[in-house]
Amino acid sequence: MTVIDKGSWPRRAHYDFFAPMSHPFYALTFPVDVTPLRALCKERGLSFYTAMVFAVIKAMEQVDAFAAAGKTLCAICAAPSILGHRGLLKGKKAIAYPGFEEELTGADVTYEPAVRDENIITGRGMGCAIDFGLLILEYLEDKPASDAMAEKIIYKR
């Protein structure tokens, strides 16, 4: 067994992120063609699971990079908990799926369908997806564009 010195361990941030969770998880919420990754793993004799975990960790590092650059971050359902655990919601209004509010570390939790605070937009869940999408459109474009879209899809606010 190898003893790891957490103080100098390069993966410490990842450990610290997942360690306090009672049920550590990750989720991909969009279709991903993993055929090339499977082929690469097979060709090199690598574990597909390990490669997927590596890819997810790299994606999480991109969340941090986006935040550091002041880019827009949007998360709905349980996903805002990731922003909370990464310290990105401190002092900001945010919402998540019922039961995940305590995971929004440092946030001013609201109970609106969707909420924006500066460059961070969060939504409560699938039933709030239209409000969430319209709020994103309003932020990226403007209120008239969001209102026009709501009218086009026959959505009443």
What digits encode the pLDDT tens for the residues 26-70?
A: 554 667 788 999 999 999 999 999 998 998 888 889 998 999 999
The domains located in the chain, with CATH, are: 12-70 (no CATH), 72-157 (3.40.50.880)
SS3 153: coil
The pLDDT value recorded for residue 149 is 95
What digits encode the pLDDT tens for the residues 88-139?
A: 999 999 999 999 999 999 999 999 999 999 999 999 998 999 999 999 999 9
The whole-model pTM stands at 0.70
Angle (deg, nearest 10), helices 35-44 and 48-68: 130
Return d(Cα 42, Cα 38) in angstroms, integer. Answer: 6
- Cross-strand bridge partners of residue 46: none
Could you tell me the end-to-end alpha-carbon distance of the chain, in angstroms, rounded to an integer? 59
Return d(Cα 96, Cα 155) in angstroms, integer. Answer: 22
